[in-house]
Structure 1
């Protein structure tokens, strides 16, 4: 049996393990519509990889002054939770995770989403038990592109960052992983965020998740 060259894999979730970006977009549109802001023309890829704190900063000038940031987050997460039955796994995600588990590779996830969204996503595709730990936006002071979430993940599983492979679908996540001292594979799944250039490059580019099983350091 082939030996995987890293001790652990740190997964991004949205767009990497779970096809959740459409639901995130729907939740944002619905929340803003309730507040009199019509974002139906907003490209679905506009906020891929961007955490809710930064979404709030970009939109708050267009929202009612009476709307608090915490309430904005709560309503978006509420809309998201109502639609979790629409979620599905990214092709190859479950099979790849099971293969890594059979090889004894530690798996952890780090997300820019809130805790309730992280837990809902993992449960929706049935991989909660395969994760040794998970990090949400609620667990850190700064979300990606800060390296904090990935460093926190490494701390939780007590593995040197240099021994962890990150799997991401956005350059926001690539920046976070590289800043954390981890190698990173970028899943090019057709989203604009994964296709456009950046000031930082991933160590690997993959078209399908199972390709990480064949990577070499």
Structure 2
């Protein structure tokens, strides 16, 4: 599947705001989330969680992931809330990473032309800490997380709330995502989408059609 460079140029020309997912779109956080979940599962359940296991849960919240894992294991002695909270504590203790190459320059250029916002399935505490650590916090307002909406992605609530705070229509935004759940959320809300291709990230299944699919270096070359 190929897309010409003008696909993104045309999408950008008509938009007033850019909405970004955080995890594995702007910043490579997967390894930190997986490590923290593995430690939490080992600590609470004595269960070894592998990278292959993690690929089944891309794009969903920690609480939903915890529910599915506990159901799969048939364990009722630990609650999903308890497991998710422990995972959150551990990821906050160990997190250390930087944005993907090209992200900072792309944001700097776009900030001069459009408003930038975050729409993330992660807890607000983690999102703010991650953005601060990476030196990206000042680029974004609003920052909408799963804590502020009724339903996380793949429901459209997060992106719709961001558009509401920006006082723009979904069609006037462009959503940058890496996962099937995030793209489904944007599509359900009526938002145009870009699939960001980052090293090591699996392609969404099903693979979307008729939207730009670009790496950060390619995104920079479009500008």
TM bin, normalised by shorter chain, reads: 0.7 to 0.9
Q: 1:177 to 1:41 in 2, by over 3 A?
A: closer
Task: Measure how far apart 1:41 and its partner are.
Answer: 5.7
After TM superposition, list the pairs within 5 Å mapping 1:46-195 onto structure 2.
46-61=56-71, 62=73, 64-84=75-95, 86-103=96-113, 105-191=114-200, 193-194=202-203
Supply the RMSD in Å over aligned alpha carbons.
2.2
Match of residue 3 from structure 2: none
TM-score (norm 1): 0.88
Q: Deviations over 1:135-166 (max 9, x none)?
A: 11111121111111110111111111100000
Q: Which has the higher helix share?
A: 2
Distance 2:54 2:213 in 1: 23
**Alignment length, in residue pairs?**
211
Match of residue 201 from structure 1: 209
Distance 2:123 2:30 in 1: 14
Distance 1:209 1:159 in 2: 28
Q: 1:141 to 1:202 in 2, by over 3 A?
A: farther
SS in 1 for 2:69: helix
Distance 1:163 1:207 in 2: 22
TM-score (norm 2): 0.86
Task: Measure how far apart 1:207 and its partner are.
Answer: 1.8
Q: Which runs of 5+ in 1 are unaligned?
A: none
Task: Measure how far apart 1:116 and its partner are.
Answer: 1.1
Residues 37, 63 of structure 1: 8 Å contact kept: no
SS in 1 for 2:183: helix
